[in-house]
């Protein structure tokens, strides 16, 4: 794979503490950076591998593509990079900063920690047209599985990583179609009926599509198991999330996270770290490939 734990132990021993303190200070003034950074790392890894390609500014770069337009937390990465350039100039890649910041964001919101192997190098290519292989919120489970397996991630990784939706929010525009005229007789039948009216109040028909609501109702700020209980209860917000409960191949993992009797239990917080390490190693550039950017928003 090429990355390893402790890659910077002699070249920049302070790297982890610097990234952590930068994430913490931004999180204090703006807690939305935590889900923002977790999602950003996912969107980085799925396009050109975990190489910081998502961070590049410019017309027609990845960040301009529709699935990436609402990403947030870029300022945290820039800030960490400035501090790291002062401490260990030219050493730490932006791709590694993002991988570490994603882990630190989970910890800030109450998740369990994991060890992040480092040594990623930064890519030099960032094109909006490459963002097409990111999963979409209307994707079937089969398509979700295909997109993950194309990146070496299995069905358990899919369910586990989508569990990242235990924190953060979504704009009404990505799910309000489920609440009105989804079928000829009304809302998406997979939504718990009493929950439909709650959601309709939050996202009125023809209302402001940019309004945001939690992806994990009742627990959008906590990295916990609640997201899976919401799927069981017909309270998934995104169509793609709720489908994980409709399809047998993914439902069994949701049930295992919930500790359903008769099934071998899985601990979400532990599995999340394991699947993140796999995701964080997608198509990494190491050794002499790519570069170490001086500024994360542009190639050298």
- The answer to whether 165 contacts ligand HEM (rule: CB under 6 A) is yes
* Residue whose C-alpha is closest to residue 144's, from 126, 129, 160, 128: 160
* Binds Ca ion by CB under 5 A, chosen from 122, 224, 239, 291: 224
Instruction: Say how far apart CA 118 and CA 99 lie, in whole Å.
Output: 8
Q: Binding string, 56-95, against ligand HEM, x = CB under 6 A?
A: --------------x-x-----------------------
Is 135 assigned to a binding site?
yes
**Identity of the residue, 277 or 292, whose beta carbon is nearer to ligand HEM in the bound complex:** 277
CB-count exposure of residue 168 (10 Å: 0-12, 13-18, 19+): buried
Rule CB under 6 A: say whether 126 interacts with ligand HEM: no
Region 208-267 residues binding ligand HEM, contact defined as CB under 6 A: 238, 240
CA 288 to chain centre: 28
What is the end-to-end Cα distance of the chain in Å, rounded?
Answer: 25
- Partner from Ca ion, ligand HEM, none binding residue 125, C-beta < 5-8 Å depending on class: none
Q: Parallel, antiparallel, or unpaired: how do β-strands 212-214 and 169-171 relate?
A: antiparallel
Nearer to ligand HEM, 156 or 240 (CB): 240
Q: What is the DSSP letter of 30?
A: -
Q: Does 162 bind ligand HEM (CB under 6 A)?
A: yes
User: Using CA atoms, how far apart are residues 104 and 26, in angstroms rounded to an integer?
Assistant: 12
Residue 41 appears among annotated catalytic residues: no
Member of 3, 170, 225, 250 binding ligand HEM (CB under 6 A): 170
Helices (H), 46-93: 74-87
Q: Is residue 42 a contact residue for ligand HEM (CB under 6 A)?
A: yes
For residue 13, the tally of other CB atoms under 10 A from its CB is: 12
Residues that bind ligand HEM (CB under 6 A): 32, 35-36, 38-39, 42, 70, 72, 135-137, 139, 144, 161-162, 164-165, 167-171, 174, 238, 240
**Residue numbers belonging to the annotated binding site:** 44, 47, 49, 51, 53, 62, 135, 165-166, 216, 224
């Amino acid at each position: 794979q090429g990355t390893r734990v402790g890659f910077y132990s002699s070249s920049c021993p302070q790297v982890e503490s610097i990234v952590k303190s930068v994430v913490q200070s931004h999180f204090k003034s703006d807690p939305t950076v935590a889900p923002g950074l977790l999602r950003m790392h996912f969107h980085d890894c799925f396009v050109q591998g975990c190489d910081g390609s998502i961070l590049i500014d410019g017309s027609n770069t990845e960040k301009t593509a529709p699935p990436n337009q609402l990403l947030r937390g870029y300022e945290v990465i820039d800030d960490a990079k400035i501090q790291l350039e002062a401490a260990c100039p030219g050493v730490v890649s932006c791709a590694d900063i993002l991988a570490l910041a994603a882990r630190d964001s989970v910890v800030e919101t109450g998740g369990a920690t994991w060890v992040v192997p480092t040594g990623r190098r930064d890519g030099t290519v960032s094109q909006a047209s490459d963002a097409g292989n990111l999963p979409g919120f209307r994707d079937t489970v089969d398509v979700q599985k295909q997109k993950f397996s194309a990146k070496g991630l299995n069905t358990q990784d899919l369910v586990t990583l989508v569990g990242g939706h235990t924190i953060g929010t979504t704009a009404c525009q990505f799910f309000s179609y489920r609440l009105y005229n989804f079928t000829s007789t009304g809302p998406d039948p997979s939504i718990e009926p009493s929950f439909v009216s709650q959601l309709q109040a939050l996202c009125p028909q023809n209302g402001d599509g940019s309004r945001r609501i939690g992806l994990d109702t009742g627990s959008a700020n906590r990295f916990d198991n609640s997201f899976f209980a919401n799927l069981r209860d017909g309270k998934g917000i995104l169509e793609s999330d709720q489908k994980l409960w409709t399809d047998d191949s993914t439902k069994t993992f949701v049930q295992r996270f919930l500790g359903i009797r008769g099934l071998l239990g899985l601990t979400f917080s532990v599995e999340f770290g394991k699947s993140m390490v796999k995701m964080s190693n997608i198509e990494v550039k190491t050794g002499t490939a790519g570069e170490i950017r001086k500024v994360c928003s542009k190639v050298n």
